[in-house]
Structure 1
Amino acid sequence: MSIAENPYATPQSRLSWMPVRQPVFLVVAPRKFLSMVLLTLGGYFVYWLYRQWTLYQQASGKRLWPWVRVLFPACYFCSLILRVMQELEQGESAYYWWPRCLAVMIFVCGCLPLTVLWLLSPFAALAVAACIAVLQVALALQLQCAINHLERDPEGEGNAGLTRANWLGIAAGLLGWGLLVIAGVWGAG
């Protein structure tokens, strides 16, 4: 009795492994992302943007200038969000988020500090800029969660630990925080 005669028989075809999907974006655990951005005085955010664009360039084969996209994040951050959205739409599992709203919010938050400086006193402008920075980090965290889902590592466990480079960045950031505190005390006194 052949397979054609027995519809319940196991298929006799040769199975082959599908090629491993190359990562398109950088996976980072949310808790690591938040702590690194805060402890490095925002320096990790610059590194994070650069790595996102370089990985995307490698995966897509498109010719990009990642360093230009890092120098002008307000112009290119929305593009990064839309690229993640496109990759997620091609995937098998659904991820529910609002990428266009996120892109608009990021763009507005990127432009607000420039207008705030002209309208407010220096101390009030600093307070508003700090609030905008917190909002930007929260919005970037939303993007990171979408990236983690896309890369099939929702918790970001593939990049949850701190490396030596991370510790060096934290040391430099803490030094920067210390200098800011000293400058604030010196300026107030």
Structure 2
Amino acid sequence: MSVAENPYATPRSLLSWMPAREPLFLVVAPRKFLVMVLLTLGGYFVYWLHRHWTLYQQASGKRLWPWVRVMFPACYFCSLILSVMRELEQGESTYLWWPRCLATVIFLGGCLPFTVLWLLSPFAALAVVACIAVLQVALALQLQCAINHLERDPEGEGNARLTRANWLGIAGGLLGWGLLVTGGVWGAG
């Protein structure tokens, strides 16, 4: 006997419909993130932070002032990590990461270059700052992987291709890299 024949029968359709939600944070493929941060001379990092805070502000309804958070990343980066942590804790799937350790290391890494500049020779300070920058990019990549998991796109396929705007940013970054290398060669000679 079917539902049409028995009006008191339990419906057999799947009722687990979930409305589409606005993204809380920006999804970026890990490979694209690395390419953009390195080739734009870190300029993409500014866009990346601003986009995260803007999306989070829109989805949460909180007043956050994204530009202020971008201007002082050492102060607000930990807040971004902890916001992602809270959202992941509310989800039904688990993600293995250490957000408090990540926030602590990023904060210390953001403060350390200011103290290193006073203690070391200029060349040694540049080497230490470069190592800290590489560490911070690797840690930011860990955060991006957690965000991708939160947004249910672990590989970042939704934002894996380079757009025209990305190519313009890369062109500007490569020009900056060229100026840095040229200035370094002429300054050393």
Per the normalisation by structure 1, the TM-score is: 0.93
Specify the alignment match of 2:98 in structure 1. 98
Q: Give the % identical residues.
A: 87
> Residue by residue, what CA displacement relative to the aligned partner does 1:125-184 show, whole Å, maximum 9, x if unpaired?
000000000000000000000000000000000000000000000000000000000000
Structure 1 residue runs without a partner (length 5+): 4-8
Specify the alignment match of 2:177 in structure 1. 177
- Farther-moved stretch of structure 1 (10-19 vs 168-177): 10-19
Mapped partners of 1:106, 1:14: distance in 2: 45
Mapped partners of 1:14, 1:37: distance in 2: 44
Q: Do structure 1's residue 29 and structure 2's residue 43 form an aligned pair?
A: no
Mapped partners of 2:158, 2:13: distance in 1: 35
Mapped partners of 2:15, 2:50: distance in 1: 39
Mapped partners of 1:170, 1:75: distance in 2: 27
Report the CA distance shift for 1:14/1:121 in structure 2 as closer, same or farther (over 3 A).
Answer: closer
Structure 2 residue runs without a partner (length 5+): 4-8
Specify the alignment match of 2:130 in structure 1. 130
Report the aligned-residue RMSD: 1.9
Mapped partners of 2:29, 2:50: distance in 1: 17
How far residue 19 of structure 1 moved from its aligned partner, in angstroms, is 1.2
Counterpart residue type for residue 29 of structure 1: A
Mapped partners of 2:53, 2:15: distance in 1: 35
* SS of residue matched to 2:110: helix
How far residue 10 of structure 1 moved from its aligned partner, in angstroms, is 4.6
> Residue by residue, what CA displacement relative to the aligned partner does 1:65-87 show, whole Å, maximum 9, x if unpaired?
00000000000000000000000
Q: Do structure 1's residue 167 and structure 2's residue 184 form an aligned pair?
A: no
Counterpart residue type for residue 24 of structure 2: V
How far residue 14 of structure 1 moved from its aligned partner, in angstroms, is 8.9
Write the mapping of 1:7-46 to structure 2, written as runs, cut at 5 A.
Answer: 10-11=10-11, 15=15, 17-46=17-46
Specify the alignment match of 1:113 in structure 2. 113
Mapped partners of 2:29, 2:14: distance in 1: 38
Runs of 4+ in 1 over 2 A off after TM superposition: 9-18
> When the two structures are aligned, how many residues end up with a matched partner?
185
Q: Do structure 1's residue 188 and structure 2's residue 188 form an aligned pair?
A: yes
Report the CA distance shift for 1:13/1:127 in structure 2 as closer, same or farther (over 3 A).
Answer: closer
Per the normalisation by structure 2, the TM-score is: 0.93
